[in-house]
Amino acid sequence: MTVLSGFASDLPPLLWSGAVSGCLYGLGALGLVMTYKSSRVVNFAHGNLAGLAAFLVYGFSNGALLNLSWGNAVLFSAVLIALIATLSYALISPIVFKSDLASTIATLGIGLMLQGLIQLLFGADIVNLDLPVPRFGFSLAGVRVSSYDLTVLVVTLLIVGALFFVIDRTRLGIAFRAVSTNPFASRVCGLNLRSVHLFAWLSSAVLGLVAALLIVPTTFLSSTTMSSFMLQAFTAAVVGGFNSLPGAAVGGVLVGIAMNLFAFYVSPEFMNTFLLAVILLTLNLFPGGLLEKVSGGRV
Amino acid sequence: MSDMAQATKRLRLARGGLLDLRNLGAAALLCLLLALPFVVGGFLLYTLTLCFANALGALSVSLLVRYSGEVSIGHSFFVALGAYAVAIMEKQFGLSLLLSLPVAVLLGIAGGIIFAYPSRRLSGIYLAVSTMALALALPEILVHSEKVTGGFEGLYVTLVPLPSVAKELQRYYIALAILVVACLALAQLRGSRQGLALLMARAHPSAAEAFGITRGWARVSVFAISAALASVGGAVMAFASSTVSPNSFTLWSSIFLLVGSVVSLNRLTLPAGIIGGAFLTLVPNYLASAGDWVPILYGAALVAVTLCVNCASDIRLLLARRERP
């Protein structure tokens, strides 16, 4: 009986905090899925770029590089990150249409360069980077809700809402959907594939920046933490299906909750192993992700 | 496609008994490497021994790329499998490399099959993503199973197979011998029926299925061979550096193996392996003062080689078009 009541009191906070961090994995996964859907490239540099973004915000606001206010630092880093994303797309643009394999390898190279850049600029420092939000908290049905949680939820909803609005309602979004469904036909119709790709890469970089800024306060920032965050985003993308934007968001929340439950009930030390198991299981049970559309095939 | 055409051409050449210039080059390189310990010594010899180990690792990634068209960024897992097999066999049973090497091979094959089986039907990106998870899971497994693996500190490898010969020379020659045997085995695979079957499954999947070579089977067997090769590389690495620790098996070391493979143009010959291994071993050694530049350099090399290969294939296509109007 005590076990059961303990379970009942443990579970809601675990689900809540899992869902909150899951939102951030979802943001990371959305960026991966956007680049994959439009240009068929799995961007392995995504996590490194997001890590660099967070480091830049730190450097610009703490006086390591510049001494700006937090908002200006974010703005400045966003511009720089957009520039780097454009540059990295320009680097691999000759091979994007030819070989998925070669372009994926090239993104690994870009990721290595960004990682080196982080180490070069900031060394092996471990950095704390907080959000400038007032601290408060309240209890709701046995769950402690903090200002951080609310910030994460609000920002995620705003960003995801804006993204889906753009994709659903604007010409750019229609172009994006067309290109990700059938690149050849959209080219025949006169769409510029490059600009659609660029839109996807830029928005993915911004999503990465937001996700990195929001996730750093829960842990700390070092040149190595970003690779495990990237794994969480990748797992979310696999769970939701690499082809589905809503899937990425849902997958993020699911992965966040599952990770929290695993850490609490089994062991907090084997998170990456657990994610590996999740990836392999998902690939076997739902090869196209949980939200895959069922469609027939022709022989 | 071109791989297959090349393989059949090789086969014909071998049967015709024609001398191959490339084989001569490889033989010359081998002679040079055999004679080297009489000229140089100490640190360079040690570095070269490590280079042979890395060469095996780079070759294992190249094998995967060539035969199945997949990339893996988790091969440090299989390298670690071999390295820890050697160290644990020594610690628990007091056996030296020659007896633990077969164990490392078997472990590599088993690990490769277990890992590739779930992803046998999936397209390349999913394999790449799951190998990334594999590489990230490895350090925490190694650190948290302290009783067997020695945790953070790792284990030492001190036994050598021949007690009477100088340790350095032994390490060098045994590593070289293993690398040469591996390269000969790869050449044999390339000309064999099985090798052709695997190449066919990559180039013409449906035709291969008609012959009874299913894609899943090809994927699993290529991965198993590649993992076994990586595991041998790990065994040599442990033997050469006389220590194993989780620090040397991270996601980055996996990606470096891929860099070594790409830099050697994914070729499966002895010189290519040495180039890949040398790039991985010598660059960090000689740029030790500029440690932080190493990832940037590797990344730049990866991007540059990929772009150059693409450029070269463009030019070849253009020339071919010009030849037949």
How many helices (H) and strands (E) chain A has is answered by 11, 2
Best residue in B67, B303, B314 for a mutation probing chain A (most A CBs within 10 Å): B303
Q: Is A121 at the interface with chain B, CB within 8 A?
A: no
- Is pLDDT of A288 > 50? yes
Q: How many CB atoms lie within 10 A of CB B323?
A: 7
* Domain spans of chain A, in order of start: 26-134+146-235
Region of A170 please: left (phi>0), alpha (psi -120 to 50) or beta: beta
- Is pLDDT of B312 > 60? yes
Inter-chain CB proximity B259 and A112 less than 8 Å: yes
| Structure tokens, B105 | 């091979």
Q: Is B194 at the interface with chain A, CB within 8 A?
A: no
Residue in B62, B290, B296 with CA at minimum distance from that of residue B183 = B62
Question: Residue A272 in 3-state DSSP?
Answer: helix
pLDDT band at B150 (very low <50, low <70, confident <90, very high): confident
CA–CA separation, B259 vs A294, rounded Å? 39
Q: What is the mean pLDDT of residues B111-133?
A: 83
pLDDT for position B17: 47
Inter-chain CB proximity B295 and A113 less than 8 Å: yes
Q: Which residues pair with A178 in a beta bridge?
A: none
CATH of domain B2-286: 1.10.3470
The DSSP 8-state label assigned to residue A221 in this structure reads: B
Q: Side chain identity at B297, as an amino acid letter?
A: L
Which among A99, A117, A270 has CB closest to B140? A270
Q: Is B296 at the interface with chain A, CB within 8 A?
A: yes
Question: Residue A173 in 3-state DSSP?
Answer: helix
pLDDT per position as a tens digit, A253-266: 999 999 989 988 88
- Is pLDDT of A296 > 60? no
Asked whether the CA dihedral B203, B208, B209, B215 is positive or negative, the reply is negative
Average pLDDT score over chain B: 84
Which among B124, B137, B310 has CB closest to A276? B137
pLDDT for position A187: 84
CA distance B143 to chain A (A): 10
Region of A59 please: left (phi>0), alpha (psi -120 to 50) or beta: alpha
How far is residue B51 from each of residues A126, A276, B67, measured CA to CA in Å? 33, 30, 24
Q: For residues B111 and B77, is the Cβ–Cβ distance under 8 A?
A: yes
Per 3-state DSSP, chain A is made up of helix, strand and coil in percentages (nearest 5) of 75, 5, 20
pLDDT band at B91 (very low <50, low <70, confident <90, very high): confident
Chain A from 123 to 162: CB within 8 A of any B CB: 123
- Is pLDDT of A151 > 60? yes
CA–CA separation, B292 vs B21, rounded Å? 40
pLDDT per position as a tens digit, A187-216: 888 888 888 889 999 999 999 999 888 888
List of residues 6+ apart from A76 with CB closer than 8 A: A56, A60, A66, A68
Inter-chain CB proximity B140 and A105 less than 8 Å: no
pLDDT per position as a tens digit, A37-92: 888 888 889 988 998 988 888 888 877 777 778 888 889 889 999 999 999 999 88
Inter-chain CB proximity A108 and B302 less than 8 Å: yes
How many helices (H) and strands (E) chain B has is answered by 14, 2
Which among A106, A237, A272 has CB closest to B140? A272
Say how many CB pairs under 8 Å bridge A and B.
142
CA–CA separation, A196 vs A96, rounded Å? 13
Inter-residue long-range contacts of A140-144, CB under 8 Å, 24+ positions, other chains counted: A141/A12, A142/A9, A142/A12, A142/A13, A143/A12, A143/A13, A143/A16, A144/A13
CA–CA separation, A120 vs B202, rounded Å? 41
Judging contacts by C-beta atoms under 8 Å, the chain B residues touching residue A251 are none
Q: Is B41 at the interface with chain A, CB within 8 A?
A: no
How far is residue B71 from each of residues A234, B190, B264, B285, measured CA to CA in Å? 16, 19, 15, 26
Nearest CA in chain A to B262: A105
Q: Is A189 at the interface with chain B, CB within 8 A?
A: no
| Structure tokens, A112 | 């290595």
